[in-house]
Structure 1
Amino acid sequence: MKTVLITGANAGIGLATAKAMARRGFNLILLCRNKEKGREALAILKRINPAVTVELFLADLSDIDSVRQVAQQISRAHSKLDVLINNAGYSPNRIEFINNIEKSFYANHIGPFVLTYYLMDLLKAAGEARIINLSSAAYSLGNASRFFKRNGNLSIMAAYGDGKLANILFTKELAKRYTDSGITAYAVHPGVVNTGFGSNFAGALGFMMTLARPFMRTPERGAETSVYLATSPLTSLIRKNGQDGGSGGFFADSRPKSIRHSDITIKQAAELWAKSLAFV
Structure 2
Amino acid sequence: MKTALITGANVGIGLATAKALVRRGFNLILLCRNEAKGREAMAVVQQLNPAITVELVMADLTNIDSIRRAAQQVKSTHQTLDILINNAGFSPDRIEFVDNIEKSFYANHIGHFVLTHYLLDLLKASGEARVINLSSLAYALGNATRFFKRNEKLSLLSAYGDGKLANILFTEELAQRYADAGITAYAVHPGVVKSNFGGNFTGTLQVVMSLARPFMRTPERGAETSVYLASAPLSVLIKPDGKAGGSGGFFADSAPKLVKHNDNTRKQAADLWTKSLAFV
State how far apart, in whole Å, the 1-side matches of 2:31 and 2:210 are: 29
* Structure 2 equivalent of residue 50 of structure 1: 50
CA deviations on 1:175-215 (whole Å, 9 max, x unpaired) are: 00001000000000000011222223334323321221111
- Listed as ranges, the matches of 1:169-208 within 5 Å are 169-208=169-208
TM-fit CA distance, 1:245: 6.5
Report the counterpart of residue 88 of structure 1 in structure 2. 88
Match for 2:272: what amino acid? L
The residue correspondences of 1:150-169 to structure 2 (distance < 5 A) are 150-169=150-169
CA contact 2:235–2:245 (8 Å) conserved in 1: no
**Runs of 4 or more consecutive aligned structure 1 residues displaced over 3 Å after TM superposition:** 242-245
Question: In structure 2, what is the equivalent of residue 132 of structure 1?
Answer: 132
Distance in 1, Cα, partners of 2:74 & 2:48: 23
1:46–1:244 distance in 2 versus 1, CA, 3 Å: closer
Asked if 2 retains the 8 angstrom alpha-carbon contact of 1:190 and 1:222, the reply is: yes
1:260 corresponding residue in structure 2: 260
Hey, what does 1:36 align to over in structure 2?
36
Q: Secondary structure at the match of 2:246?
A: coil
Residues 245 and 251, structure 1, Cα contact 8 Å, conserved in 2: no
Q: Output the CA distance in 1 between the equivalents of 2:101 and 2:94.
A: 14
Q: 5 Å matches for 1:7-46?
A: 7-46=7-46
Distance, in Å, in 1 between the alignment partners of 2:20 and 2:144 is 34
Give 1:269-280 correspondences, 5 Å limit.
Answer: 269-280=269-280
Secondary structure of 2:261 counterpart:
coil
Superposed, which structure 2 residues align to 1:66-85 within 5 Å? 66-85=66-85
Please give the secondary structure, in 2, of the residue aligned with 1:31: strand
Distance across 2 between alignment mates of 1:192 and 1:243: 29
One-letter amino acid matched to 2:257: K
User: For 1:97-145, what per-residue CA distance to the aligned partner results, in whole angstroms no more than 9, with x for missing partners?
Assistant: 1121100000000000000000000000111000000000000000000
User: Take 1:95 and 1:195, find their aligned partners in 2: how far apart are those partners?
Assistant: 19
CA RMSD of aligned residues (A): 1.6
Q: Contact 1:245 / 1:256 at 8 angstroms: preserved in 2?
A: no
Note the residue ranges of structure 1 that are not aligned, 5 or more in a row.
Answer: none
The more displaced of 194-203 and 79-88 is: 194-203
The alignment partner of 1:239 has SS state of coil
- The count of aligned residue pairs is 280
* 1:82–1:245 distance in 2 versus 1, CA, 3 Å: closer
Name the SS for the 1:217 alignment partner. Answer: coil
Whether the aligned pair in 2 keeps the contact of 1:81 and 1:126 (CA below 8 Å) is yes
| Residues 224, 254 of structure 2: 8 Å contact kept | yes
- Structure 2: runs of 5 or more not aligned: none
The amino acid across from 1:106 in the alignment is Y
SS in 2 for 1:154: coil
CA contact (8 A) 1:243 1:256 kept: no
With structure 1 as the length reference, what TM-score do the two structures score? 0.97
With over 3 angstroms needed to count, the CA separation of the structure-2 counterparts of 1:196 and 1:265, relative to structure 1, is same
Equivalent position amino acid for 2:151 in 1: N
In structure 1, how many angstroms separate the alpha carbons of the residues matched to 2:254 and 2:78?
30
Looking at structure 2, the residues matched to 217 and 172 of structure 1 have their Cα atoms a distance apart, in angstroms, of: 27
Question: Counterpart of 2:111?
Answer: 111
Q: Secondary structure at the match of 1:30?
A: strand
CA distance in 1, matches of 2:22, 2:198: 29
SS in 1 for 2:270: helix
Query: Over residues 125-181 of structure 1, what are the superposed CA-to-partner deviations in whole Å (9 max), with x where a residue is unaligned?
Result: 111000000000000000000000011221000000000000000000000000100
